[in-house]
């Protein structure tokens, strides 16, 4: 929590100014009942004097001025406060976003993309909202309370004790209750999520549900969940509904006590006036209004705690990527894996073990294997998203920048930025960004001409599709590219990878949504365009792999075969098994 | 959905337009409760009126004592104080009771019932609706919108009952107490409401923009975090950060105005109240001095004036959410009123032999784009039909038609000579078992999932089916065996194992016809072999339709339907189709080209 407040530091001056303005307004509000009671008292005591009405008018003038000052200062206060809060929220969001992009892939995966989204949107939003709700009251309520007590004490010390006792008790009661309610809300939120999940599950499974004629069962499950959810919402709401009447009753009773004690003390001749009693009742009303208006914000306090805790999970994350600066190295395309192994933290079995591969510059190799064979882990190693936990992965470095070191450089010693600058990739999930096709492609080469873009699109077999669109290269992709098909997404991702000029190209399962005809065309175009560059195709389709120079077969994280298609068919049982299962065996 | 980018068009509508009237009809069963709540509100109004009157009287007594001091002042206050204490207690209890009542009415009898009705509606909607509509949209209507509609009940109670009544009573009493002082109070209070309403509309513009930008910001964060590997792989972190910061800045700027305007509504009301307060003070002071008005009257007027702003705020508040209640209600009613599936009641005669005929069938999802035209085929009992074609060509359309998820537009589909459009949908579907690539499992135990299509199956039968489908061995290794709770995204079972479970589900259901969608990806070789064996076992002797990805399936199929751009371009056996050297030939040979 304290770490999150650091971002408030640049605003210290403005926070002080806002506090001052709020304080002025609070004091003004407190003066009003006192002035009013003066008017009333004057009406009684000074009825005989000639200038009584003049005095009343003068006091009224003061009241008007003070009210206007109060309004002006509170408006000014809020103006400053909201600038501070929005600046604070902005810097918090910006910092979170930056932080995520310094974390390792493993850390991002551990926290989860959807959780990270919740942190930067919902959690920051909650913090922002509650601070906005509370900022005014945090400053004014204690002031109202202290000022009210102070003014009461000036009127009558003992009477003021009633307020001194009651208000903190009431606040404590509200806080205590909010804690209980918080738990109830948590439960009802849980049921709400459950209900959402049920509906989502049902809509997704509509075909199966209808196929088996189980709509009534699905409906029954939702009906039950709805009733349970309603019960829980009611429980939380009803508990919360206690706060307002309770606060009102306690403070109104305090007012009655003051009237009574006021009577008693007047009788004893303590100098207390009826106007003083009246003013005190007004103070109680002011305090009551303040408490009621914050009671629901106080209920939000536990949410702030939760939000703050979740935010600091991100801001204090230590899973950071190697941030050594890039040296603008140029790779020559050779890749060496020597006894490379990788074990996920907390996992007993290695995802990759004892991998010995040498990929020469300009070679076209494929890596084939099923789910869990470790082929995606290999892709992550090649992109420096993870470092091998055993053995060494080396890249050949071509240029003079490399200095006196060995030509082959350990990936662990290189900046991840350098590795990524030299490996162009199309990944398993073809991740595209909302925006135009041109914007998406230029990620790979910011200064590419339209001609270059069209050429890459041509090679990826997607140019025809875009030519049919009136917008052409400026065809806009929706978030997550929902307005094009899976195959089109993959081809755009391939075009992007092709556009980048790099010695090494990595295609991680990026043909899976293409039909055989399109895939064959893409394959042919890639091989023409990228002749002489290192190409690594990671796939589970034997058709995608069988034509490459060499095929590596992975199974359970180990290399079980390497060679050409023909060699493997002869030597490698697992390869043969994959081939048979996918093609029906020798159908060629 | 892209709607976030387009500002929703605001309709300036009157309170009781079509939607408003419908809303009132919908809450008809609740009128009894609402009236009860109104009665409670009357009690509250009574308390609200009596308390200042009494309190004013007590303060008056203090002033009277100042003019004519005597003994027993405190004691003389006691009866009044006791009465007030009783009123305050009553007020608290009734306030609480009323919100208890309203909460139950709203949550239990309104929201829950409406949600259940929507859920029942889902049973009768055509699959096409669910296909077209994002799940989030339906969930929004069921949860968010219904929740917002609940506000209408609070709105009615607040606006019509508490607000207006209380305001009226207080205004009348003010005039009765002292008409001269009542005038400024009654004139100034509406001013504060007008001002606050004005500021609310002013702020609305900024809020709308703020919310829209917020949606964009969320989308951007979501995209950035899910695309993390790609961003990093292309070294684009800095560019993305700049974009995010800029959007976030615009988002915040709009928030400042919205927040500011909302925040100063209350101080403005306080200020206008203070004006009324001052007017009463001046007028009251003058009346006390020159007209000998009792001070208690002034005090009472002040107490009432304070009470008058409360119902006004309520009315303003109530009216302000009528608009969003109505837009929510409209969305809910639209869903409730959607046309339902027509369902005839014909039944089939057992036993089913499994002959399937398509006669001149026409079908399209979109009337402008004809899809299937004049499709005819005759599948004899026990035959295997393979459906092949490029991705996205519409292979699942055949499944949609056979299962009557969609209705054909022309022609006939006959099973054992009987037109399926004469049968009830459930009856048609009961003929088929279906294994889809998209393995749907619901949140429940393994056993519950396997017997989904045959709820009366015994545990022994379930285990037998699982054994046949090669599931038994891994189910037994799960922590609670057959009673382990699994779901769509549960990691306890792999995607291949989920596929096997759906095969077991189909085996147990034991239907005469079969629809299979072969898995293409995300399954390891060994599981894939098992799946293949299990599917073969399932197909034995049944008429089946297979969306084929494997050559082995295609090669020995009795009929191959070649689909391209949603149309069946070729049909026949493997060898004949190859000999035609048409699209099938191209499709088949392309995979062996370099």
Gap between the Cα atoms of B393 and B396, Å rounded: 9
Contact: A582, B550; criterion CB under 8 Å: yes
Task: Give the pLDDT band of residue B591 (cuts 50, 70, 90).
Answer: low
Whether the CB of B256 is below 8 Å from some CB of chain A: the reply is yes
CB atoms under 10 Å from CB of B462, counted, come to 24
Q: Give one DSSP letter per residue of A40-84, joined into a string.
A: HHHHHHTTTSTTHHHHHHHHHHHHHHHHHHHHHHHHHHHHHHHHH
pLDDT digit string, tens, across residues B320-370: 666 667 778 888 999 999 998 888 877 777 778 889 999 998 888 878 777
Beta-bridge partners for A342: A352
Whether the CB of A480 is below 8 Å from some CB of chain B: the reply is yes
% of chain A residues with pLDDT over 90: 34
Contact: A67, B107; criterion CB under 8 Å: no
Contact: B443, A25; criterion CB under 8 Å: no
Residue B575 backbone phi and psi in degrees, to 5: -65, -45
pLDDT of residue A102: 92
Which of B99, B127, B495 comes nearest A210 by C-beta? B127
| Residues 6+ away with beta carbon under 8 Å from A144 | A26, A29, A30, A286, A287, A290
Contact: B123, A218; criterion CB under 8 Å: yes
- Is the pLDDT confidence value at A453 over 90? yes
Q: Which residue of B has its CA nearest to A213?
A: B426
Q: Which residue has the higher pLDDT, B176 or B309?
A: B176
Question: What is the crossing angle of helices A12-45 and A52-100, to 10°?
Answer: 160
Place of tokens 């393995």: B439
- Biggest alpha carbon–alpha carbon distance for chain A: 122
pTM: 0.74
Gap between the Cα atoms of B388 and B384, Å rounded: 13
Q: What is the 3-state secondary structure (H, E, C) of A90-118?
A: HHHHHHHHHHHCCECHHHHHHHCHHHHHH
Contact status, residue A245 vs residue B96, Cβ threshold 8 Å = yes
pLDDT of residue A506: 95
Which of A39, A274, A500 comes nearest B281 by C-beta? A39
| Residues 6+ away with beta carbon under 8 Å from A261 | A158, A159, A162
- Is the pLDDT confidence value at B8 over 50? no
Gap between the Cα atoms of B443 and B459, Å rounded: 19
Q: Which of residues 500-529 of B touch A (CB under 8 A)?
A: 509, 520-529
Q: Which residue of B has its CA nearest to A321?
A: B232
- In B416-542, DSSP assigns E strands to 418-419, 432-435, 444-445, 485-486, 513-517
Using a CB-CB distance cutoff of 8 angstroms, which residues of chain A are in contact with residue B71? 267
Using a CB-CB distance cutoff of 8 angstroms, which residues of chain B are in contact with residue A264? 73-74
- Is the pLDDT confidence value at B267 over 70? yes
Least confident of A174-183, A483-492, A558-567: A174-183
Whether the CB of B67 is below 8 Å from some CB of chain A: the reply is yes
Mean confidence (pLDDT) of chain A: 85
Contact: B224, A52; criterion CB under 8 Å: no
Whether the CB of B95 is below 8 Å from some CB of chain A: the reply is yes
Whether the CB of A433 is below 8 Å from some CB of chain B: the reply is yes
Q: Which of residues 321-360 of B touch A (CB under 8 A)?
A: none
SS3 A588: coil
Using a CB-CB distance cutoff of 8 angstroms, which residues of chain A are in contact with residue B277? 32, 36, 63
Contact: B96, A242; criterion CB under 8 Å: yes
pLDDT digit string, tens, across residues B435-490: 887 788 888 999 999 999 888 999 999 999 999 888 888 898 888 889 999 887 66
Q: Which of residues 514-533 of A touch B (CB under 8 A)?
A: 514-520, 523-524, 527
Place of tokens 């509906």: A199
SS3 B434: strand
- Is the pLDDT confidence value at A348 over 70? yes
Count Cβ neighbours within 10 Å for each residue of A265-296 and write b for 16 or more, e otherwise.
bbbeeeebbbbbbbbbbbbbbbbbbbbeebbe
Whether the CB of A43 is below 8 Å from some CB of chain B: the reply is yes
Q: CA separation (Å) from A63 to A143, B101, B231?
A: 19, 43, 62
Least confident of A78-82, A569-573, B212-216: B212-216
Beta-bridge partners for A409: A395
Tell me what ipTM this predicted complex has: 0.82
User: Between chain A and chain B, how many beta carbons pairs sit less than 8 Å apart?
Assistant: 438
Beta-bridge partners for A425: A506
pLDDT of residue B2: 35
Place of tokens 């100034």: B188
Burial status of residue A234 (CB atoms within 10 A of its CB: 0-12, 13-18, 19 or more): buried
Contact: B278, A516; criterion CB under 8 Å: no
SS3 A475: coil
Interface test with B, best of A122, A135, A208 (most B CBs within 10 A): A208
SS3 B254: helix
Which of A79, A255, A487 comes nearest B392 by C-beta? A487
End-to-end CA distance of chain B: 40
* B349 DSSP assignment: P
Which of B74, B119, B440 comes nearest A219 by C-beta? B119
pLDDT digit string, tens, across residues A374-390: 888 899 999 999 999 99
Q: Which of residues 196-225 of A touch B (CB under 8 A)?
A: 196-208, 210-219, 222-223
Contact: A63, B281; criterion CB under 8 Å: yes
pLDDT digit string, tens, across residues A90-136: 999 999 999 999 999 888 888 888 788 878 887 888 888 777 777 76
Contact: B143, A195; criterion CB under 8 Å: yes
Contact status, residue B59 vs residue A274, Cβ threshold 8 Å = yes
Whether the CB of B436 is below 8 Å from some CB of chain A: the reply is yes
| Residues 6+ away with beta carbon under 8 Å from B290 | A53
- Is the pLDDT confidence value at B1 over 50? no
Cα-Cα-Cα-Cα dihedral sign, residues A441, A447, A451, A452: negative
Q: Which of residues 218-257 of A touch B (CB under 8 A)?
A: 218-219, 222-223, 226-227, 229-231, 233-234, 237-238, 241-242, 244-246, 248-249, 252-253, 255-256
Which of A121, A132, A420 comes nearest B259 by C-beta? A132
Contact: B2, A105; criterion CB under 8 Å: no
pLDDT digit string, tens, across residues A270-313: 777 888 888 888 777 777 777 766 666 666 676 777 788 888 88
Whether the CB of B306 is below 8 Å from some CB of chain A: the reply is yes
Using a CB-CB distance cutoff of 8 angstroms, which residues of chain A are in contact with residue B439? none
pLDDT of residue B427: 87
pLDDT of residue B305: 75
Burial status of residue A481 (CB atoms within 10 A of its CB: 0-12, 13-18, 19 or more): buried
SS3 A321: coil
Interface test with A, best of B70, B442, B491, B499 (most A CBs within 10 A): B442
In 3D space, the residue among A420, A384, A312, A314 whose CA is nearest the CA of residue A99 turns out to be A314
Contact: B74, A263; criterion CB under 8 Å: yes
- Is the pLDDT confidence value at A179 over 80? no
Q: Which residue has the higher pLDDT, A517 or A565?
A: A565
Q: CA separation (Å) from B239 to A98, B217, B232, B245, B249?
A: 11, 15, 11, 10, 16
Gap between the Cα atoms of B512 and B381, Å rounded: 9
Q: Which residue of A has its CA nearest to B134?
A: A203
SS3 B34: helix
Q: Which residue has the higher pLDDT, B391 or A176?
A: A176
Task: Give the pLDDT band of residue A587 (cuts 50, 70, 90).
Answer: very low
Contact: B55, A259; criterion CB under 8 Å: yes
- Is the pLDDT confidence value at B9 over 50? no
H helical segments located in B292-368: 295-336
Contact: A97, B123; criterion CB under 8 Å: no
pLDDT digit string, tens, across residues A527-557: 999 999 999 999 888 888 888 999 999 988 8
Gap between the Cα atoms of B342 and B338, Å rounded: 12
pLDDT of residue A405: 61
């Amino acid at each position: 929590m304290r770490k999150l407040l650091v971002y408030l530091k640049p605003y210290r001056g403005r926070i002080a100014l806002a506090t001052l303005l709020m304080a002025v307004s609070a004091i003004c509000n407190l003066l009003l009942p006192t002035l009013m009671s003066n008017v009333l008292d004057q009406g009684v005591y000074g009825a005989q004097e000639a200038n009584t009405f003049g005095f009343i008018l003068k006091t009224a003038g003061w009241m008007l001025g003070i009210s206007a000052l109060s309004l002006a200062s509170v408006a000014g206060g809020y103006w400053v406060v909201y600038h501070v809060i929005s600046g604070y929220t902005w810097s918090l969001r910006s910092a979170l976003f930056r932080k995520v992009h310094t974390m390792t892939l493993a850390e991002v995966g551990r926290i989860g993309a959807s959780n990270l989204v919740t942190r930067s949107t919902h959690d920051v939003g909650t913090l922002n909202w509650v601070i906005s709700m509370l900022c005014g009251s945090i400053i004014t309520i204690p002031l109202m309370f202290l000022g009210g007590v102070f003014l009461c004490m000036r009127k009558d010390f003992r009477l003021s004790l009633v307020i001194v006792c009651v208000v903190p008790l009431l606040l404590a009661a509200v806080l205590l209750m909010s804690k209980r309610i918080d738990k109830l809300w948590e439960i009802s939120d849980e049921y709400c999520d459950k209900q959402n999940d049920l509906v989502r599950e049902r809509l997704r499974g509509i075909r199966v549900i209808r196929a088996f004629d189980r709509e009534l069962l699905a409906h029954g499950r939702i009906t039950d969940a709805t009733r349970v959810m309603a019960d829980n919402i009611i429980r939380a709401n009803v508990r919360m509904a206690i706060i307002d009447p309770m606060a009102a009753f306690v403070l109104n009773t305090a007012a009655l006590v003051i009237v009574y004690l006021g009577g008693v003390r007047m009788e004893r001749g303590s100098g207390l006036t009826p106007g003083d009693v009246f003013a005190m009742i007004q103070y109680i009303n002011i305090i009551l209004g303040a408490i009621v208006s914050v009671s629901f914000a106080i209920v939000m306090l536990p949410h702030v705690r939760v939000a703050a805790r979740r935010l600091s999970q991100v801001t204090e994350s230590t899973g950071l990527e190697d941030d050594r600066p890039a040296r603008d190295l140029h790779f020559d395309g050779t890749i060496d894996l020597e006894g490379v192994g990788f074990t996920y933290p907390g996992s007993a079995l290695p995802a990759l073990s004892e991998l010995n591969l040498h990929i020469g510059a300009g070679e076209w190799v494929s890596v084939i294997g099923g789910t869990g064979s470790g082929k995606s882990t290999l892709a992550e190693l090649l992109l420096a998203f993870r470092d091998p936990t055993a053995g060494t992965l080396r890249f050949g470095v071509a240029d003079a920048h490399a200095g006196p070191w060995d030509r082959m450089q350990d990936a662990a010693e290189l900046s991840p930025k350098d590795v990524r600058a030299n490996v162009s990739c199309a990944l398993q999930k073809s991740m595209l960004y909302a925006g135009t096709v041109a914007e998406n492609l230029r990620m790979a080469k910011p200064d590419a001409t339209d001609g270059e873009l069209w050429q890459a699109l041509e090679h990826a077999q997607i140019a025809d599709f875009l030519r049919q669109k009136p917008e052409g290269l400026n065809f806009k992709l929706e978030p997550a590219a929902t307005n094009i098909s899976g195959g089109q997404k993959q081809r755009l991702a391939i075009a992007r990878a092709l556009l980048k000029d790099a010695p090494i190209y990595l295609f991680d399962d990026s043909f899976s949504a293409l039909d055989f005809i399109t895939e064959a065309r893409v394959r042919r175009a890639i091989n023409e365009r990228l002749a002489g560059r290192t190409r690594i195709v990671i796939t589970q389709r034997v058709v995608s792999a069988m034509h490459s120079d060499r095929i590596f077969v992975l199974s359970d994280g180990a290399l079980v075969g390497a060679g050409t298609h023909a060699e493997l068919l002869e030597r490698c049982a697992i390869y043969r098994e994959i081939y048979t299962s996918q093609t029906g065996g020798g159908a060629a | 959905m892209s709607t976030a980018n387009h500002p929703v068009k605001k309709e300036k509508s009157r309170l009781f337009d079509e939607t408003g009237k419908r809303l009132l009809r919908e809450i008809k069963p609740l009128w009894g409760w609402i009236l009860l709540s109104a009665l409670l509100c009357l009690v509250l109004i009574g308390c609200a009126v009596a308390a200042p009157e009494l309190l004013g009287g007590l303060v008056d007594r203090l002033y009277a004592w100042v003019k004519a001091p005597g003994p027993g002042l405190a004691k003389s206050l006691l009866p009044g104080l006791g009465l007030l204490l009783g009123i305050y207690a009553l007020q608290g209890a009734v306030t609480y009771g009323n919100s208890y009542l309203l909460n139950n009415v709203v949550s239990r009898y309104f929201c829950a019932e409406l949600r259940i009705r929507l859920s029942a509606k889902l049973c009768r909607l055509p699959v096409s609706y669910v296909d077209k509509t994002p799940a989030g949209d339906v969930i929004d209507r069921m949860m968010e919108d219904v929740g917002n509609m609940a506000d209408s009940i609070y709105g009615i109670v607040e606006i019509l009952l508490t607000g207006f009544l209380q305001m009226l009573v207080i205004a009348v009493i003010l005039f009765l107490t002292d008409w001269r002082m009542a005038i400024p109070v009654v004139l100034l209070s509406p001013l504060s409401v007008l001002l606050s309403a004005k500021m609310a509309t002013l702020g609305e513009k900024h809020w709308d923009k703020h919310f829209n930008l917020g949606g964009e910001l969320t989308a951007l964060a979501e995209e950035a975090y899910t695309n993390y590997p790609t961003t990093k792989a292309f070294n684009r972190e800095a560019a993305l950060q700049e974009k995010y910061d800029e959007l976030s800045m615009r988002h915040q700027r709009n928030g400042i105005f919205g927040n500011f305007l909302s925040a100063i509504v209350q101080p403005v009301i306080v200020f206008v109240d203070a004006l009324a307060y001052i007017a009463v003070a001046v007028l009251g002071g003058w009346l006390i001095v020159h007209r000998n008005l009792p001070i208690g009257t002034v005090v009472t007027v002040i107490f009432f004036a304070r009470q008058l702003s409360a119902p006004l705020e309520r009315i303003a508040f109530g009216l302000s959410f009528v608009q969003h209640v109505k837009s929510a209600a409209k969305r809910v009613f639209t869903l409730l009123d959607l046309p339902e599936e027509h369902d005839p009641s014909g039944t089939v005669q057992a036993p089913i032999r499994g002959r399937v005929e398509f006669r001149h069938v026409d079908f399209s999802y979109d009337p402008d784009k004809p899809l299937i035209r004049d499709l005819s085929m005759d599948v004899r009992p026990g035959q295997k039909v393979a459906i092949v074609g490029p991705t996205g060509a519409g292979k699942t359309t055949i499944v949609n038609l056979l299962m009557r998820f969609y209705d054909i537009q022309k022609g006939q589909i006959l099973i054992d000579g009987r037109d399926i459009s004469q049968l009830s949908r459930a009856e048609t579907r009961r003929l088929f078992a279906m294994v889809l690539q998209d393995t749907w499992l619901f949140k429940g135990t393994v056993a519950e999932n396997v017997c989904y299509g045959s709820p009366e199956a015994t545990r022994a039968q379930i285990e037998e089916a699982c054994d046949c489908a090669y599931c038994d061995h891994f189910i037994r290794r799960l922590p609670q065996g057959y009673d382990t709770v699994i779901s769509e995204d549960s990691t306890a079972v792999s995607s291949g194992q989920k596929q096997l479970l759906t095969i077991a589900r189909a085996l147990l259901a034991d239907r005469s016809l079969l629809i299979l969608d072969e898995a293409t990806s995300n399954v390891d070789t060994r599981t894939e072999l098992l799946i293949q064996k299990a599917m073969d076992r399932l197909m034995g002797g049944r008429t089946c339709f297979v969306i084929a990805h494997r050559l082995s399936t295609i090669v020995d199929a009795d009929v191959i339907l070649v689909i391209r751009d949603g149309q069946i371009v070729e049909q026949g056996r493997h060898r004949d189709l190859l000999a035609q050297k048409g699209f099938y030939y191209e499709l088949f040979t392309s995979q062996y080209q370099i």
